[in-house]
Amino acid sequence: MAFKFENLKVWQKAVDFTTSIHELTKNFPKYELYVLTAQIKRAADSIALNIAEGSTGQSNAEFRQFLGYAIRSGIEVVSCLFIAKNRGLIDVEKFQKLYDEAEAIIKMIQSLRNSLKN
């Protein structure tokens, strides 16, 4: 039995994005483990988790609310990427790749959210 969220392309992309972020943080120094590493991983995971949780709600209004949370988590990841770049933990090329990926996912979530009637 498939859950509704499993068929959503945006959820699938968000899950793939968590893997990209996880791989990125493997190279972060130990002193960032309980700071930036944990924060960016939680935020990235939260994108997919909020899409899934909201999709099983009782109404489109509730789903829209959870998609809003997913968007905010995506913005949090982008902010963490800027911090990582400024701290010299990632280069500009890696930053841009992940920034673009996050931006695409956020736009997909916004489109899905806008398509839902209240």
The enclosing domain of 43 has a CATH number of: 1.20.1440.60
Range of the structural domain that residue 39 is part of: 27-115
Please report whether residue 103 resides in a domain. Answer: yes
Q: What is the pTM of this model?
A: 0.94
Please report whether residue 12 resides in a domain. Answer: no
The residue ranges of the chain whose pLDDT is under 70 are 1, 118
Please report whether residue 17 resides in a domain. Answer: no
Exposed/middle/buried for residue 86 (C-beta within 10 Å: 0-12, 13-18, 19+): exposed
- Written as six digits, the tokens of 116 are 């839902």
Please report whether residue 78 resides in a domain. Answer: yes
| Dihedral over Cα of 99, 73, 10, 23: its sign | positive
Determine the pLDDT at residue 57: 73
* Nearest by Cα to 81 from 69, 71, 91: 91
- Number of structural domains the chain divides into: 1
Please report whether residue 16 resides in a domain. Answer: no
Determine the pLDDT at residue 118: 65
Q: How far is CA 70 from the centre of its chain?
A: 7
Determine the pLDDT at residue 31: 94
Determine the pLDDT at residue 117: 80
- Coil, strand or helix at 116: coil
